[in-house]
Amino acid sequence: MKRLFLFLLATSLSVATFAQTKWKVDPMHSFVNFSVKHSGISFVDGSFKKFDGEFTSSKEDLTDAKINFSADVASINTSVDMRDNHLKSDDFFNAEKFPKMTFVSTSFKKTKGNGYALTGKLTIRDVTKEVTFSVVYGGTAKDQQGNTKAGFSASTTINRLDYNIKYDPTGSGIAKDVNIVLNLQFVKAK
């Protein structure tokens, strides 16, 4: 009986130690931003106001994290309605036909300190390409309600023409490269 008890105790500790932990993005404390050079002399900044994401991990260093993220294309905001409507059109995102951009991770590798390389498949319109984000893990903390939260900053640069966004293909008015910065806070599932 004593052996059975010890076996069950060891098994439950092993399962608890390696159990998948699920985290959900906290939209009130997260931001999905982009910046693109305009006319070769300045930058236009924008963001997506509606997005969703989650990750699961069983390792404390998060190197086994599986990350899924999506942004609602129609929620694009550059603070100019006319420009936002143009970005929603077929010249750019075609929000009606392709309402979401998605990212699904394929690896999350620790680089140095709190740095990680997050690689995965980014889908914009009808094109999926592999991209790698440089990620800084800010750590975890408990909020006033006792929820555990984790913070990350992730950045990458993509070529918009790779995703069938063909408006101004020369890049003379709107640059080809788009800088993406995500500042994300996740809440641990209870």
Q: What is the pLDDT of residue 29?
A: 96
pLDDT at residue 10 is higher than 90: no
pTM, rounded to two decimals: 0.87
Tens of pLDDT, residues 82-123 = 999 999 999 999 999 999 999 999 999 999 999 999 999 999
Domains annotated on the chain, with CATH: 20-188 (2.40.128.110)
Q: Distance between CA atoms of 176 and 168, rounded to whole angstroms? A: 9
> Percent of the chain having pLDDT more than 90?
87
Tens of pLDDT, residues 20-57 = 899 999 999 999 999 999 999 999 999 999 999 999 99
In Å, the largest CA–CA distance within the chain is: 78
Tens of pLDDT, residues 149-177 = 999 999 999 999 999 998 999 999 999 99
